[in-house]
């Protein structure tokens, strides 16, 4: 913060920093100004910032922890009418002609919607009293928000348990808690000049909230139609409907058992399908029988031909390998190969396998009966006709065996189809009877139920004149949360935090009795303020440096004016314990010595000297009474004890000191921050006057008022006051911009 020009409306807050300006102090305007307001705000800036940030942070945390509120609404319309005098007959169970009637109070209907019994029924039906676990979100920040809400819920539960333990709150069951939440969030109102009732439900559930409200309205409809029922017709048709329903359930159960017993899905289709299977299988059996007969005739013919043909013919008499034997072996190997392939498809008991085994056995016999060789002198050759006939015979036998196996399988399937068909024919009669019973029971149940509903509706029409209750605008799940948007809520929190912080600053300032400005010193002590020393560390004041130089030069200049009226020696005392008299006295002494080149003596009495010596880096504990210590070219320090047998001797010692050292142009006597009244009286008698040091933010108004009262009673010669350690709360750029 740099120096400001002297004078102007801001001079009472930011005094001039120029040396020797001689600017008189201005008093604060009694009406107040924006500058005073800014001064208060920046003086209590910590409190203002704390309250402001606490309000914003608390609002942000509350918005994070408090679940979102969703609002879902629905509208129902009540249509009114009154029955005519048409009689009810068996052919016309309800009256169709109605006459308009006056509309009853819709507010009554609105109150019925909020009935606790209806709300409790909805809670039980939808299972809202069951524990529900929120799904854990996947994102990082949503997961943090989820965990914070979990902690918040646990804290609320523990607080509730504590209140219940202390007897401040009743323990509610989960169902009661759910009922209370719905009752609090349910709002029912009638639309003006219409037959429409609007129901609004506020809850923290987004998905499924419409289901709750719609279920509530449906329960209301059922409850409303049953409110005034008091007719035997309703009871009769209701009992008949229940009995018909029980009979229908019994017939359906019997039909179901019959279907399970016979494995029925659609009896007519199954009968037709089974009959078609029987017919197709009989046709296949006849075809297979024809094929078997043809194959048997072919086998007999081939066997007769083979019997008429010789197996071989002699070529020469020499021994040679019997080629028939090789052919039979090849045939046996071929049959074994076919048998191995057939085993992969059929079992050992299959007809085709048995046929192959027979052929292999036959070939084995032939191999056994055929000699390995023929005489060498005789050459024989296999009869090719015989071999061809034999091969054809084997193929015919294989075909016959396969056809016989197929015929056996087809006959077995035919027997199964015929048995299934007979069982279906037996079940068809029972199935038809049970189906007829189910159809009759269903029709009876529907008729009795419709009569019961018509009876209930007619009873309601007679009692209340309401023809129907229709939900014209059903509830749907909301998309966005209800209430104030978060940005508006943060803006409101910003405004409220600003108002609260400023109000707290103003209140704190009104309760603060400490001294801050020169005008406070003039107002409560009645003294002229000769100068203000801004808050600084002692190292910046002894010797003075920076902006403190101008402040101390201005103060020393005013003291010089007092010296022109004979004030060579000046006593410096503190108004309270927080006043830094040793620092102020040392700084003024340095200013006289360095800036004005005057020989100066700084006298410290008891503890005051210890502080001054420490500021100049001198060993105060080794000094003796009356000894001088050089602190600069024209500045000396001296210790003078103030305590003694007679306190009044201090005035004589001060006079002797001034007489003993006449070469000092300025003599400053530091009485300390909490000097007793006797010291001040003695210093007032021996010196040119007393300079009061007021500690900014440490000296209270009551202390200055008491000091003023004592000064008037003792008739002190007071040169003025110095405001020490003053802070300038308004930052320089803001102050210059505002000025």
Average pLDDT estimate for 636-662: 76
Q: Please tell me which residue, 29 or 481, carries the higher pLDDT value.
A: 481
Through-space distance between the first and last CA atoms of the chain, rounded to whole angstroms: 15
Average pLDDT estimate for 272-293: 85
Query: Model confidence over 416-436: pLDDT tens digits?
Result: 878 877 777 777 777 777 778
Token readout for 703 is 């202390």
Question: H or E element: which one contains 694?
Answer: strand 690-695
DSSP code per residue over 187-213: EEEEPTTSSEEEEEEEES--TTHHHHH
Q: With cut-offs at 50, 70 and 90, classify the pLDDT of residue 722.
A: very high
Q: Please state, in angstroms and as integers, the Cα–Cα distance from residue 201 to each residue in 77, 174, 194, 536, 584, following that order.
A: 18, 19, 21, 64, 72
Cα–chain-centroid distance for residue 41? 38
- Listed in sequence order, the DSSP H helices in 140-231 are 140-165, 174-185, 209-225
Cα-atom radius of gyration of the chain, to the nearest Å? 61
* Alpha carbons 36 and 28: distance in angstroms, whole number: 8
- Check pLDDT > 60 for residue 529: yes
**What order of strands is seen across the sheet that includes strand 196-203?**
186-190, 196-203, 70-80, 466-473
The predicted pLDDT at position 91 comes to 42
- Check pLDDT > 80 for residue 18: no
Q: Please tell me which residue, 107 or 436, carries the higher pLDDT value.
A: 436
The predicted pLDDT at position 271 comes to 76
* Alpha carbons 697 and 275: distance in angstroms, whole number: 115
- Check pLDDT > 60 for residue 280: yes
Q: With cut-offs at 50, 70 and 90, classify the pLDDT of residue 20.
A: very low
Q: Please state, in angstroms and as integers, the Cα–Cα distance from residue 578 to each residue in 145, 513, 673, following that order.
A: 49, 14, 7
Query: Model confidence over 187-233: pLDDT tens digits?
Result: 888 777 777 888 888 887 778 788 888 888 888 877 776 665 555 66
The predicted pLDDT at position 523 comes to 87
DSSP state of 24: P
Please report the sign of the dihedral spanned by the C-alpha atoms of residue 170, residue 174, residue 179, residue 184. positive
- Check pLDDT > 70 for residue 94: no
The predicted pLDDT at position 693 comes to 92
The predicted pLDDT at position 3 comes to 33
Peptide bond before residue 91 is cis, with ω within 30 degrees of 0: no
Average pLDDT estimate for 462-485: 67
In percent, the amount of the chain with pLDDT more than 90 equals 1
Q: Does domain 518-738 have CATH number 3.40.50.300?
A: yes
Query: Model confidence over 557-596: pLDDT tens digits?
Result: 888 887 655 568 889 998 888 788 888 988 899 998 988 8
Q: What is the mean pLDDT of the chain?
A: 77
Token readout for 464 is 């209340």
The predicted pLDDT at position 197 comes to 83
What residue segments make up the domains of the chain, in order of their start? Answer: 34-67+483-511, 131-171, 284-427, 518-738
Query: Model confidence over 325-375: pLDDT tens digits?
Result: 778 888 888 888 888 877 777 777 778 888 888 888 888 888 888 777 666
Token readout for 492 is 């409101």
The predicted pLDDT at position 713 comes to 87
Instruction: Determine the 3-state secondary structure of 347 from DSSP.
Output: coil
CA angle 222, 89, 246 (to 5 degrees): 50
DSSP code per residue over 470-517: EEEE-----SS--SS-HHHHHHHHHHHHHHHHHHHHHHHHHH--B--S
Question: H or E element: which one contains 630?
Answer: strand 628-630
pTM: 0.50
Q: With cut-offs at 50, 70 and 90, classify the pLDDT of residue 1.
A: very low
């Amino acid at each position: 913060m740099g120096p400001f020009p002297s004078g102007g409306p801001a001079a009472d807050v930011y005094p001039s920093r120029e040396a020797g300006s001689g600017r008189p102090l201005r008093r604060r305007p009694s009406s107040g100004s924006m500058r005073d307001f800014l001064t208060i705000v920046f003086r209590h800036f910590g409190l203002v910032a704390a309250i402001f940030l606490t309000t914003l942070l608390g609002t942000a945390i509350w918005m994070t922890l408090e679940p979102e509120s969703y609002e879902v609404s629905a509208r129902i319309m009540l249509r009114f009418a009154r029955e005519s005098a048409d009689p009810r007959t068996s052919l016309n169970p309800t009256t169709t002609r109605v006459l308009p009637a006056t509309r009853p109070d819709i507010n009554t209907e609105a109150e019925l919607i909020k009935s606790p019994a209806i709300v409790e029924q909805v809670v039980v039906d939808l299972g809202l009293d069951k524990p529900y676990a929120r799904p854990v979100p996947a994102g990082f920040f949503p997961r943090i928000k989820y965990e914070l809400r979990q902690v918040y819920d646990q804290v609320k539960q523990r607080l509730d348990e504590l209140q219940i333990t202390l007897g401040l709150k009743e323990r509610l069951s989960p169902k009661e808690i759910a009922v209370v939440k719905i009752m609090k969030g349910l709002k029912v109102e009638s639309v003006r000049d219409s037959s429409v009732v609007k129901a609004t439900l506020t809850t923290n559930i987004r998905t499924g909230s419409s289901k709750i409200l719609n279920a509530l309205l449906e329960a209301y409809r059922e409850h409303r139609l049953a409110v005034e029922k008091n007719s035997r017709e309703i009871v009769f048709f209701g009992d008949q409907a229940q009995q018909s329903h029980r009979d229908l359930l019994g017939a359906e159960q019997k039909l179901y058992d019959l279907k399970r017993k016979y494995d029925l899905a659609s009896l007519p289709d199954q009968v037709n399908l089974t009959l078609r299977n029987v017919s197709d299988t009989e046709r296949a059996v006849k075809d297979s029988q024809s094929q078997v007969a043809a194959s048997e005739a072919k086998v007999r013919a081939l066997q007769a031909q083979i019997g008429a043909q010789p197996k071989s013919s002699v070529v020469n008499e020499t021994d040679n390998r019997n080629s028939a034997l090789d052919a039979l072996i090849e045939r046996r190997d071929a049959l074994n190969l076919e048998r191995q392939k057939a085993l992969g498809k059929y079992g050992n008991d299959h007809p085709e396998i048995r046929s192959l085994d027979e052929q292999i056995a036959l070939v084995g016999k032939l191999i056994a009966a055929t000699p390995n060789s023929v005489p060498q002198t005789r050459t024989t050759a296999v009869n090719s006709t015989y071999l061809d006939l034999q091969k054809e015979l084997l193929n015919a036998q294989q075909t016959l065996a396969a056809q016989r196996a197929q015929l056996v399988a087809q006959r077995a399937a035919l027997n199964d189809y015929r048995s299934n068909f007979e069982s279906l024919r037996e079940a068809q009669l029972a199935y038809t009877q049970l189906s007829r019973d189910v159809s009759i029971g269903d029709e009876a149940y529907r008729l009795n139920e419709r009569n019961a509903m018509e009876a209930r509706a007619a009873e309601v029409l007679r009692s209340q004149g309401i023809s129907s209750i229709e939900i014209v605008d059903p509830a749907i799940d909301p998309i966005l949360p209800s209430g104030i948007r978060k940005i508006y809520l943060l803006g409101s929190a910003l405004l409220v935090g600003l108002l609260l912080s400023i109000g707290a600053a103003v209140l704190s300032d009104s309760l603060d009795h400490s001294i801050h400005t020169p005008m406070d010193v003039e107002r409560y002590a009645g003294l002229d303020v000769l100068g203000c020393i801004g808050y600084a560390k002692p190292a910046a004041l002894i010797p003075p440096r920076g902006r403190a130089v101008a402040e101390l030069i201005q103060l020393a200049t005013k003291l010089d004016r007092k010296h022109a009226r004979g004030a060579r020696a000046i006593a410096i005392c503190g108004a309270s314990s927080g006043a830094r008299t040793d620092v102020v006295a040392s700084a003024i002494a340095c200013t006289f010595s360095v800036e004005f080149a005057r020989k100066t003596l700084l006298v410290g009495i008891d503890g005051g000297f210890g502080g001054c010596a420490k500021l100049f880096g001198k060993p105060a504990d080794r000094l003796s009474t009356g000894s001088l210590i050089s602190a600069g070219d024209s500045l000396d320090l001296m210790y003078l004890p103030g305590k003694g047998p007679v306190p009044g001797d201090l005035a004589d010692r001060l006079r002797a000191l001034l007489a003993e050292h006449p070469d000092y142009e300025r003599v400053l006597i530091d009485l300390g921050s909490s000097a007793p009244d006797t010291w001040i009286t003695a210093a007032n008698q021996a010196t040119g006057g007393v300079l009061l040091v007021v500690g900014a933010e440490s000296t209270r108004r009551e202390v200055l008022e008491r000091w003023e009262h004592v000064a008037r009673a003792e008739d002190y010669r007071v040169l003025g006051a110095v405001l020490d350690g003053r802070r300038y709360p308004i930052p320089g750029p803001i102050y210059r911009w505002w000025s």
